[in-house]
A and B are shown apart, each in its own frame.
Chain A
Amino acid sequence: MEVDTTTNAGQLLAAASGGRRRVGDRVFSNLSVAAAVTILALLAGVAFFLLVEALPAVEAAPSELPGDQSLIDYIAPLAFGTVLAATIAILLAVPLAVAVALFISHVAPRRIVLVLGYLVDLLAAVPSIVYGLWGIFVLGPAAVGPMEWLEQKLGFVPFFEGPASATGRTMLVAGLVLTVMILPIVSAVAREVFQQTPRRLQEGALALGATRWEMIKMTVLPFGRSSVISGAMLGLGRALGETMAVTIILSVSGIVTFNLISQANPSTIAANIALDFPESSGLAINTLIASGLVLFAITLVTNLFARAIVARQNVQ
């Protein structure tokens, strides 16, 4: 086999070691193609399963579905609750995660950086059911007082209209628990990128007389922006699909409301499936799977949206 002069490094290496493509290269290339195809096939399989199983519910008359309502009326409050909980989580988690990541990458003394990074990563390893139990036993009861305060002082804002829940099992608490759950994901991604900000840029900024904050604002944040967005999307995916913690914490009522502190909250798609699947049969199961299909679509759209943002950032 002849060696092309414009060949890449891998082939150069192959040429150096004997003049022909090594078996290892071929195996590796085939394996990686197989892996990529498998992922696509799995995704297509899941989508196909959802579509096929959801179809009977789409075709059924409203009177046959759970609650005697149309499929859209059934799924809309769930989709609303899913997006609301995830939005609360992402709005609170991203600023906090960026702050934690900056602290670890640029502010904290070297001695505690390792420990702190390790601790934040540890948050990601806690099972979601434990977060759920923590939410219902600790955070919920502790939030009752503050939520009553919110109702009294900020009751004119629709979010805090009240009446405040007596048990603390509200959308606000569920959102807070989701915040803690996605915090490590977002901050781990952000931290890795912040640490890779080119030294010369940072030193250049400092040399021009920038304060530490100005340096971070001018070099680190722009450098890491697209990665922070990617990290936020990873977190958003987890928040949208989170099941156990929400199932345990949230007091659900099948309504649509922006009121975050009352006992009546919209459920989320994933939590609703977990709650209702055990006692469901026949069309009720198809209905639940149809809601799963909607969740699949929501996740897909948010991911595509995020990709678009990241792509535009990279062009600039």
Chain B
Amino acid sequence: MKPSRLIAIVVSLAVLAVGVAACGSSASGGGSGLSGQVAGAGSTAQEAAQEAWTAEFENENSGATVTYDAVGSGGGREQFIAGGVAFAGSDAALEEEEGELNKALDRCKPGQLVEVPAYVSPIAIVYNLEGVESLRLSPETLAKIFNQEIDSWSDPAIAKDNPGVELPDTRITPVNRSDESGTTENFTDYLSKVVPSVWTYEVSGDWPVKGGEAAQGTSGVVEAVSAGDGAIGYADASQAGELGIAKIEVGSRWAEPTPEAAAKVLEESPEAKSIAKGPYMFPFELDRETESQGTYPIVLVSYLIACTRYGSASEAEIVKSYLEYAISSEGQEVAAENAGSAPLSPALSSKIAPAVEAIEAG
């Protein structure tokens, strides 16, 4: 090896070492008395919001470290039940199916389970159709497009929803998620609740219709829709980018996926009492059939799941203040800015706050 190259390597290693040391020392600033490490895992939909929360939280509490591993909702729930992580993010509330709810209750004994909605995001119907700037779809037309009954953009059903719009004779390419996802689950839940006569499939995170175009992840769907003329898909509204967003018929008006409209649906939805075990669980039965003003019913609601009691005082303190931060108006604002989510309404925030306040060392 030439001496000059050796010097270059030594220098770059030295720079690296200094950089690492600098990172280590920056954590010793002031702040609250919290210290220790807490790990969470779960929903990929929450990933951007969790990243923003952990960054802000660690800024405020320099001694505390919170990590969030976006392994997916199922994986997060599994790790939480096994005791691998202190809290989980999940696109679905814990249910009795497969005994998950009971296992989670056992995991928290002698404390209780905490389950609060923390991340609400409208799901946009995105489309790519040359020459069509705005598009309206009734739930029935939407369902028929996605179950492949309607396969051309010039179909009379679409024309009826869009008077005065010149629709090309392009073939429709419906794009769905190829991986299991909370977005798919919420979208199919909407279709099966609102137009059960057309959408006869079981609600699940796996796309039920065969033969459509499928793509991995939200970014994959957006990419596939962008690539194909005549393509239509569903994706987190914040990720829609340049694509056209269809207005959906709600009652007698045409609604767009705005954060406000999404938050309003959750506010008006009843709690799912049957799967709420204890006073600190707030699962919701989303009111997809809502017709009230200013709502958009195709939304994804993702929950934070934790226990009221933790073995160590520092773990309990960190989980408590982290969750408090996440559902606070400040935390919801940060998520809205970074992940495009819909902030929880103040009324809902104050309703679920006691659940998080109940967390303590035991």
Q: Are B212 and A264 in contact (CB under 8 A)?
A: yes
Q: How far, in angstroms, from A306 to B229 measured CA to CA in the complex?
A: 44
Q: How far is the CA of A166 from the CA of B213 in the complex (A)?
A: 9
Residue of B nearest to A133 (CB): B223
Chain A residues with CB under 8 Å of B220's CB are 136, 248
Which residues of chain A are within 8 angstroms of B250 by Cβ–Cβ distance?
none
Judging by beta carbons under 8 Å apart, are A279 and B214 in contact? Answer: no
| Bound-complex Cα distance A168 to B223 (A) | 12
Chain B residues whose CB sits within 8 angstroms of the CB of A267 once the complex forms:
178
Interface string of A252-280 (1 = CB under 8 A from B): 11110000000110010000000111111
Q: Is the CB of B211 within 8 A of A281?
A: no
**Could you tell me if A275 and B98 are in contact, using CB atoms closer than 8 angstroms?**
no
| Shortest beta-carbon distance from A299 to chain B in Å | 23
Asked whether B71 is an interface residue with its Cβ less than 8 Å from the other chain, the reply is yes
Q: Is the CB of A281 within 8 A of B227?
A: no
How far is the CB of A213 from the nearest CB of chain B, in Å?
Answer: 43
Question: Interface residues of A toward B: which range?
Answer: 20 to 34
CB of A165 within 8 Å of the partner chain = yes
Q: A276-B179, A279-B74 are in contact. Are A247 and B216 (CB under 8 A)?
A: yes
Given contacts A251-B213, A276-B180, A279-B205, contact A166 B231 (CB under 8 A): yes
| In contact, B214 and A252 (Cβ under 8 angstroms) | yes
Quick one: CB contact mask for B29-62 with A, threshold 8 Å, 1 for yes?
Answer: 0000000000000001000000000000000000
Contact indicator B44/A278 (Cβ below 8 Å): yes
Chain A residues with CB below 8 A from B215, complex form: 169, 251
Neighbour of B75 across the interface among A251, A264, A279, CB < 8 A: A279
Task: List residues of chain A with CB within 8 A of the CB of B100.
Answer: 281
Residues from chain B with Cβ under 8 Å of A277 in the complex: 72
Within 8 A of B (CB), among A132-168: 136-137, 140-141, 144, 163, 165-168
Choose among B98, B179, B182, B228 the residue that contacts A167 (Cβ–Cβ < 8 A): B228
Which residues on the A side are within 8 Å of B78 (C-beta)? 281-282
Measured CB to CB, the closest approach of chain A to B217, in angstroms, equals: 9
Judge if A66 is at the interface, Cβ distance under 8 Å.
Answer: yes
Residues of A close to B223: CB separation below 8 A: 136-137
A67 lies within 8 A of chain B by Cβ: yes
Rounded to whole angstroms, the CA-CA distance of A165 and B227 in the bound complex is 11
Shortest distance between the CB of A268 and any CB in chain B (Å): 12
B147 within 8 A of A: no
Which B residues, 194 to 238, have Cβ-Cβ distances below 8 Å to chain A? 205-206, 210-216, 220, 223-224, 227-231
Which A residues touch B73, using CB under 8 A? 279
Interface majority SS on B: helix, strand, loop or mixed? mixed
Closest to A136 in B: B223
In the complex the two chains form, what is the Cα distance from A137 to B173 in whole Å?
18
Expressed in whole angstroms, the Cα–Cα distance for A167 and B206 within the complex equals 22
Q: Is residue B258 within 8 Å, beta carbon to beta carbon, of the partner chain?
A: no
Cβ A141 vs Cβ B214 within 8 A: no
B181 contacts chain A at the CB level, 8 A cutoff: yes
Nearest neighbor of B220 in chain A, beta-carbon distance? A248
In A206-253, the 8 Å CB interface with B consists of: 247-248, 251-253
Which chain A residue lies CB-closest to B99? A282
CB closest chain-B residue, reference A141? B227
Give Cα distance in the complex from A253 to B209, angstroms: 8
Task: Given A136-B223, A276-B179, answer yes or no on A253-B74 (Cβ-Cβ < 8 Å).
Answer: no
**Which of A66, A67, A165, A167: most chain B CB closer than 10 A?**
A167
List of B residues within 8 angstroms of A281 by Cβ = 74-75, 77-78, 98, 100
B residues whose Cβ falls under 8 Å from a Cβ of A = 44, 71-75, 77-78, 98, 100, 171, 173, 175, 178-182, 205-206, 210-216, 220, 223-224, 227-231
Q: Using a CB–CB distance below 8 Å, which chain A residues touch chain B?
A: 66-67, 136-137, 140-141, 144, 163, 165-169, 247-248, 251-255, 263-264, 267, 275-284
13 pairs of residues in contact across A and B, judged by CB atoms under 8 Å? A144-B228, A166-B171, A166-B231, A167-B227, A167-B228, A169-B227, A251-B213, A253-B212, A255-B211, A276-B180, A278-B44, A278-B71, A279-B179
Apart from the given pairs A136-B227, A168-B228, A264-B213, 20 other A-B contacts in the complex at a CB distance below 8 Å: A165-B228, A166-B227, A166-B228, A167-B175, A167-B224, A169-B213, A169-B227, A248-B220, A251-B178, A251-B215, A251-B224, A253-B210, A267-B178, A275-B216, A276-B206, A277-B72, A278-B74, A278-B75, A279-B205, A281-B100
